[in-house]
A and B are shown apart, each in its own frame.
Chain A
């Protein structure tokens, strides 16, 4: 562990896990926390409970803003445990001098997203801090949801199960990167930021058994697959050609030297189902996004690892992303 916290410790990858394990888990240790799921399952499996903080810069970006993100992020964590989002809290830390008009715009966009989830904000907090103490606005939301499909877990994946993704990957990360200071690429890309409960509900209603579900936020699809491979002590084998990536995202990745599977998403999830449910699950996912795809399946090849197969017969490990994402030099 390094002596000071660096940006890399918040990347959703290896350093991030190290920080959580060595400091937070060490002291907060309990059975529920150690399951390390998207949301904690409490009250004998009836409720899902989660929290998330949002610090995105810029606050407004193509296809969304920090408010939409703050509701989607927390509600999606609940949906990923098969829960219907019900009650939320909303805490904001505002930098002195922030525009009230922008604040209202953000809150309105939160309201719109709450309606999609059928959730309400029932408690909140407001802090204003001197200029320079935070970057414009930080939001924390906490949510409680009612579990409609029990037993979803990252550690239940067995040999032969199929791994699917709900849409093309990496759009949020690429959009934010393109809009960042120092990069400033012009593109018509929009973030994938969206509430996932409606899609999860459609899968549940169709009678599909959801083995594992996780939204591929920081660390992208790579992080989810690696966490699953470890948690389930299984190998996940993926066909590189079946990973859906929008042309524009691919272009940005090519230019900057990124891999789309490492980039963050805010409305994309990975799903593990029994082999029998595969085509039905794909049909349902494709009703929302035509780009949904079967990535590959769980095998016993190299337990705890993710293997990527190329169309010319080579293979390699797909590792957890490490470090801060930085554009390549030449």
Chain B
């Protein structure tokens, strides 16, 4: 038997299975002592939940809080401005991943830079940079690296190859961030508007692809130290429904544990080779500013000192803007990301702020909560 691509998702979109889980959850939820709020940390989950209409299948006492796990959405404007400034340099080819080129900074997006003549390209795999660099030996190829633990190893492999193959014209601007640190921030942070620590998160749906790399071990501390169950869950609708069901069961049985729904790929330790590769080239940044959330300690990565020759942020230091740029005053993305508000509670949602003209971070990428609500959620 050959394995076809459809085998990887067909069963996980089966209508009857989804309906069966909806029934189990509804039955179990009757036994809940109080309503529960589940944060899906990752934008991919937000997308799945909204695209497949899962909130329509859940009882009123099981709610979603949409988390900050969209690498494009969390990019502060000053970093987008970095990309823009680098792209506008003579003899530079700026390479990045997908959606990143749509996000507006204070001068415009990378798409706008491209319209003004900058050479901006998007790739599916960072390794494409090598081909681009070889085809354009007189140009500097700058890879604007973004993403969580899932995409970091791909950047690390590229760094390794650039060094091994002595490729002289590839440089890096690193914007990789990590999931557990921002989860801690969401639990711990003081909300400035209401001056309280009163976050609404009762449990987390952990993104499975992050744990394919990092293992489920990165979440050990959440049930143990923070009293929040975590279920590492896949991205198909059956996966998500099973993950939610597992969380509800933990509450009715008064358990608080780390569980893996996505057992077909994820284990506790993760991909040790990928982790070693990340360790070799990257180290923690003491602070990384998240759009909508502010500075989060230890949540960003940078290239280690010994690789400074490849580090665009150092090489171009003089031309890169450093001032922090705040979002629009009316934008409530920070509250949405903390679970204090839903997208449609924002006064500019769908009016001034739309996917074609995003104002806040959550509308920027298709994986942001506001963009998902705008695209799919109008019926709710």
Contacts and interface: CB of A to CB of B under 8 A. Distances in A.
B57 A313 contact: yes
B378 A329 contact: no
Interface in B38-60: 44, 50-54, 56-57
Contact of B19 (A8, A15, A313): A313
Nearest to A254: B9
A327 interface: yes
Interface in B60-83: 71-72
A7 B101 CA distance: 11
A330 B154 CA distance: 11
Interface stretch (A97-105, A165-173, A304-312): A304-312
Given A256-B124, A315-B53, A326 B102 contact: yes
A247 interface: yes
A6 B108 CA distance: 11
Interface stretch (B110-118, B259-267, B308-316): B110-118
Contacts of A327: 97-98, 122, 124
A285 B318 CA distance: 63
A30 interface: no
A8 B147 contact: no
Contacts of B22: 312
B174 to A, nearest CB: 15
Contact of B367 (A7, A251, A254, A328): A328
Contacts of A316: 50-51, 53, 376-377, 379
B148 A330 contact: yes
Interface of B: 4-6, 8-9, 15-16, 18-19, 22, 44, 50-54, 56-57, 71-72, 97-102, 111-112, 114-116, 121-124, 128, 146-148, 150-151, 209, 237, 355-356, 365-367, 375-379
B57 A15 contact: no
A312 B15 contact: yes
Given A312-B22, A316-B376, A7 B111 contact: yes
A250 interface: yes
A240 to B, nearest CB: 10
Interface residues of A, number: 36
B179 to A, nearest CB: 12
Contacts of B99: 326, 328-329
A4 B53 contact: no
Contacts of A183: 124
B265 to A, nearest CB: 14
A257 B122 CA distance: 15
Contacts of A256: 124
A182 B98 contact: no
Contacts of B123: 182
A8 B99 CA distance: 12
B115 A315 contact: no
A324 B356 CA distance: 10
Residue picked from A18, A310, A330, most chain B C-beta under 10 Å: A330
